[in-house]
Amino acid sequence: MRRLLFCALLGLSLGAQAGRYELVIDEGEVRFSDGSRPALTINGQSPAPELRFQEGEEVEIAVTNKLERMTALHWHGIILPYTQDGVPGISFPGIAPGETFTYRFTLNQSGTYWYHAHADFQEQEGLYGPLIIEPKGREPYRYDREYTVLLFDWQDEKPERTLANLKKQADYYNDQQQTLGDFFRDVARDGLGATVKDRWDWGNMRMAKTDIADVGGFRFLINGRDAEQNWTALFKPGERVRMRIINGSGMSYFDLRIPGLPLTVVQADGNDVQPVVVDQLRLAVAETYDVIVQPKEDKAYALVAESMDRRGQALATLAPRNGMRAEAPPLRAPRLLSMTDMGMSHDMAGMDHGSMAGMDHSQMAGMDHSAMAPAGNPDYAAGSGVAPEPVDGGRVLVYGDLKAMRPAAGYRAPDRTIEMKLTGNMERYFWSFDGVKYSEAEPIRLKYGERVRFRFVNQTMMNHPMHLHGMWMQLDKGNGRFNPLKHVVNVAPGQSLEVDVPVDAMGEWAFHCHLIYHMASGMFRKIVVEAADGSTQPFYEPQPAAKKESEHAHH
């Protein structure tokens, strides 16, 4: 239906257009409750139009660049030839001003995905949208209606300025620093000696307990609308409503809940999982989850997506009629990091302050990262991110809950393991793998047909959502052949996480942290998948070069 409507709006003939979209990237604006802001748009809107396809369909997406700078769109989580993946400098040169590039690929998957710019910070400026692929067969769950819920963190400030501010002063956006009042409160609670020692330990690490997220000042949006604009999803009491939830943010993790309604998780990153009922989901940047809810009462429910650092929340309403609004719950108190989050007790922290001062927020090698779950919280190392707070005694989804609906074909032990240390320096604001920035790094070389285990060891105090282009990561949480396939996995502070990658796509691929300022500061690698003879030629004809707009036949 949406494709019909979309084609009708553009005056396209449906017969010839199955699986074809025309997208125009240009300067435009977004409108919020307090006025409009300049933004980058696709077909005049941000977020960009929802693209809907069928599994098995051959896709053509003609993208015309009306900006005065190069652009590119990446189809996030979509398995396709590497020349169609949309990463300038790796997949193709990018789309120059005035040019049209037509992406062509066949969809061999279904589920909830998204697309976004992969050129400088254009994603953060408004180039992001949902991409939905309907399955050929019947789905293993029932629902009466569905909605896409696309989360975003808008910033009025230009992203280049944000990065410059971070490089100048890493805690530039940390408006939650501890105060003298906090010091006296802690003295009353813990005693003077313990409080002074605590401040000393953190000072030596050159970071703050409030370093949960490194950028602030965001306006949190659902489908492009702020809390006042109240995006609303309608239902009839008793209906089963599927919500396709996408975290399209540049930097923000969200804790999503609908007070009064349990969430039945049925898909993660586009792949069916065995249903699991929770009260809250944490979505790392770029993850997607599909949930089914069944509101039985004739009343409005609040959909609340609270930022992980508790600086704000995106709000929407689930209601039987338009114009209704549920009361938004107040923001919960911000969570402070502890030495246990760092994977060390205060005793360890106090051992050698000299060596810790040089730690630069990253030098945590040599610790036993497997034994770092804080006492009494077995979920810590599992779930999406830092230790989940209790939600009125409710249940939070953790990675260990995710079991694939169908066992993975070709599941076997990995042929080899590659350990990647996630490293960074918060003071100088650069991020890297194994202490080496992208600009200075060699590509990671994989052989077609092998199975490689990546072991991520997070030596920083930040969460890092790791995204591999072109191939699935099978998240190992001990569920064997039922380990779920994901395109993004979150690696929590001071933790390790393992994924197995079936190397089944020739070519050159991006592998990076999906936090946009971390990626831009060096937390990025190129992966080259070679045939046994060392060649990287894919098994298909390459896409012809982009045409000038003037040569492009418009429909």
In angstroms, rounded to a whole number, what is the distance separating the alpha carbons of residues 420 and 458? 8
* CA-wise closest residue to 381 among 458, 268, 308, 467: 458
Angstrom distances, CA of residue 3 to CA of 6, 19, 20, 364, 471: 5, 9, 9, 51, 28
User: Residue 539 has what pLDDT?
Assistant: 47
pLDDT, tens digit, 9 for 90 and up, residues 36-71:
999 999 999 999 999 999 999 999 999 999 999 999
- Tokens 């694939």 map to which residue? 404
Instruction: Please determine, for residue 167, whether its predicted confidence score (pLDDT) is greater than 50.
Output: yes
pLDDT, tens digit, 9 for 90 and up, residues 373-386:
332 233 333 344 44
User: Residue 33 has what pLDDT?
Assistant: 96
Angstrom distances, CA of residue 283 to CA of 155, 209, 257, 346: 19, 22, 11, 30
Amino acid present at 56 = G
- CATH fold of 342-364+372-385+404-541 reads Immunoglobulin-like (2.60.40)
Q: Which two tokens stand for residue 347?
A: 């005793």
CATH code for the part of the protein at 2-138: 2.60.40.420
Domains of the chain, residue spans: 2-138, 141-174+210-337, 342-364+372-385+404-541
Q: What is the mean pLDDT of the chain?
A: 83
φ, ψ for residue 83, nearest 5 deg:
-70, -10
Segment 72-88 mean pLDDT: 98
User: Residue 183 has what pLDDT?
Assistant: 61
In angstroms, rounded to a whole number, what is the distance separating the alpha carbons of residues 249 and 220? 9
User: Residue 180 has what pLDDT?
Assistant: 65
Cβ 188 vs Cβ 121: under 8 Å: no
Q: Where does the pLDDT of residue 179 fall: very low under 50, low under 70, confident under 90, or very high at 90 and above?
A: low
User: Residue 498 has what pLDDT?
Assistant: 98
Element (H, E) at 183: helix 180-190
- CATH fold of 141-174+210-337 reads Immunoglobulin-like (2.60.40)
Instruction: Please determine, for residue 348, whether its predicted confidence score (pLDDT) is greater than 90.
Output: no
Angstrom distances, CA of residue 444 to CA of 430, 432, 526: 20, 14, 6
Domains 141-174+210-337 and 342-364+372-385+404-541 share a fold: yes
Within 8 A by CB and 6+ apart from 492, the residues are: 380, 381, 385, 386, 458, 463
Give 540 or 36, the one with higher predicted confidence.
36
pLDDT, tens digit, 9 for 90 and up, residues 100-130:
999 999 999 999 999 999 999 999 999 999 9
